[in-house]
Amino acid sequence: MENLEAARLQMAITLIFHIVFACIGMVMPFFMVISHYKWLKTKDKVYLKLTKAWQKGVAIFFVTGAVSGTALSFELGLLWPEFMKHAGPIIGMPFSLEGAAFFVEAIALGFYLYGWKKLPEKFHWFTGVIIGVSGVMSGILVVAANGWMNSPSGFTYENGVFSNIDPIQAMLNGAWFTQALHMTLAAFVATGFAVAGIHAYQVYKGRNVVLHKKAFSIAIIFAAIAALFQPISGDISAKDVAERQPSKLAALEAHYETEKGAPLYIGGIVDEEKQEVSYKIEIPKALSFLAFGDFDAEVKGLNDFPEDEQPPVAIVHYAFQIMVGIGTLLAIVGLFYLLSLKWKKWQDNRKFWLLFTFMAPLGYIALEAGWIVTEVGRQPWIIYQVMKTKDAVTPMPGIFYSLLFYTGIYILLTCVVSWLMVRQIKVLNQKEA
């Protein structure tokens, strides 16, 4: 395997794992403080038990997210030293603010985890809220830095030299808002459905039903509402990509030829050699409308870009289909849940709980697919139309071994963390019985 490929794969694998840890660490605190709030209000012991159970989850995921994040912040330099040398000063702003937000989160977590019975009740609860808010802030700031890679701004680039650097403008680049909105909602959808799904399974199995139903209803309400908003945010993102990164749009829709009134392809199998998409469903003029709000707008095809500036098509197209497909499904399921609040007897059916059990992993699959669209769709650029990924990679050979090393560690970590979660739930159920 070539160095560049190994470095890209290592980055991808590290990010795929880190995103899961980070999102859970970002969203779970909200569930935790709601349960905590209900405990303070109702003095129902079940809520206290649930809060403490979730708190353990938050602590485990926060630390796993923090160490994988520390590794990641070094990896940016270890794998892409040329990128960091030039981009570091320009996009440092969101990173330094992220560092601050993360620090606040760690301090608040210290108060929260160790503050039971030591701090005044309300202050203690409030530190939990700070964990959640600063976690979301961190997420938004990191995504803003990624937005800059898609929509570089805040500098002048001439003859390979970056000058006139304006860090604030770089942070507030064209993509930051749409990306941050889409990602924050995605974190809530994915974590909400995952947590709800795990508790739904316990209800389905009839274990400790009172507690798990309460847990389910806290998690699912976040997930359902976020899932309903997500298609709107997705539409904004697509229009944004159409305008700023036409090569990405062409790849995610697998359009090779430029045309007016371009059709939307749903599904299909991409043949990159023959430049064809077979077995697809075609909706006439829909792509032009979705991307530009005009049925006859021109959509640029991949063949209008130089060959060495085209992103890989098949993977981006498939990832996009997965993301949109799951996103739509989850929005429908979310609506279904909201309706079940009115028609309560739906929830008496065991199949209701089975349905949500199956939804558990889907949000995260969509979230990962979405990042594949963003990252692979930007290739071959690391900074869109400024620096290519191959020019940023470390000169050190043998990254393949580093790739094996990191992959091994992350797989191990994931196994241990999942195993710990299973144990938490088992112990939680035992105590009740």
Partner 1 sequence: MLTVVLFFLFFSLFLYVLLAGADFGGGIIELFSLPKNQEKTKQTIYRVMGPIWEANHIWIIILIVIMWIAFPEYFNIFVVYLHIPITLMLLGITIRGVAFIFRHYDAVKGKSQTSYNVLFKMGSILSPLFLGVIFGGLVGGNINLHTTGANLGFKEIYIDGWFNTFSLLIGLFYTALCTFIASNFLIGEADDEHELNEYRKKASYSTIVLVLIGFIILLYGYFNEVAFVLDFLENPFSLLAVFISGVVLIPLWKMIKLKRKVWARVLAGVQVLLVLSAAMLAHFPDIIITSTKEVSILDGVAPDSVIFVLGIALIIGGSVILPGLFHLMKSFQLIKLFK
- Minimum CB separation from partner 1 for residue 395, in Å? 6
- Minimum CB separation from partner 1 for residue 171, in Å? 9
Three-state secondary structure call for residue 208: coil
Q: Which is nearer to partner 1, 82 or 272 (CB)?
A: 82
CB-neighbour burial class of residue 292 (10 A; exposed 0-12, middle 13-18, buried 19+) = middle
Q: Which is nearer to partner 1, 85 or 260 (CB)?
A: 85
- Minimum CB separation from partner 1 for residue 26, in Å? 15
CB-neighbour burial class of residue 43 (10 A; exposed 0-12, middle 13-18, buried 19+) = exposed
Q: Which is nearer to partner 1, 16 or 106 (CB)?
A: 106
Three-state secondary structure call for residue 260: strand
Q: Which is nearer to partner 1, 17 or 381 (CB)?
A: 17
Q: Which is nearer to partner 1, 168 or 306 (CB)?
A: 168
Tally of CB atoms within 10 A around 34: 22
Cβ contacts of residue 200 below 8 Å, gap of 6+? 212, 216, 353, 354, 355, 356, 357, 360
Q: Which is nearer to partner 1, 111 or 305 (CB)?
A: 111
d(CA 214, CA 408): 37
Q: Which amino acid is at 240?
A: D
Nearest-10 Cα torsion for 244, 247, 251, 252: 0
19 membership: H or E segment, kind and range: helix 3-42
- Minimum CB separation from partner 1 for residue 67, in Å? 4
- Minimum CB separation from partner 1 for residue 71, in Å? 5
- Cα dihedral sign, 218-223-228-229: positive
**Contacting residues toward partner 1, per CB under 8 A:** 56, 59-60, 62-64, 66-71, 73-74, 76-78, 81-82, 84-86, 88-90, 92-93, 95-97, 99-100, 102-104, 106-107, 109-111, 113-115, 118-119, 163-168, 394-398, 402, 405, 409, 413, 416, 420, 423-424, 426-428
Where are any strands of DSSP class E within 248-315? 259-260, 264-271, 276-283, 298-299
- Minimum CB separation from partner 1 for residue 70, in Å? 6
CA-wise closest residue to 48 among 132, 117, 111, 136: 117
H helices of 285-313, in order, are 286-292
Q: Which is nearer to partner 1, 138 or 288 (CB)?
A: 138
**Helix 3-42 vs helix 121-150: crossing angle, to nearest 10:** 150
**DSSP-assigned states of every residue in 142-164:** HHHHHHHHHS--SSEEETTEEES
How many residues belong to the chain?
433
- Minimum CB separation from partner 1 for residue 156, in Å? 11
Q: Are 196 and 167 in contact (CB under 8 A)?
A: no
- Minimum CB separation from partner 1 for residue 73, in Å? 6
- Minimum CB separation from partner 1 for residue 19, in Å? 17
Q: Which amino acid is at 298?
A: E
- Minimum CB separation from partner 1 for residue 54, in Å? 12
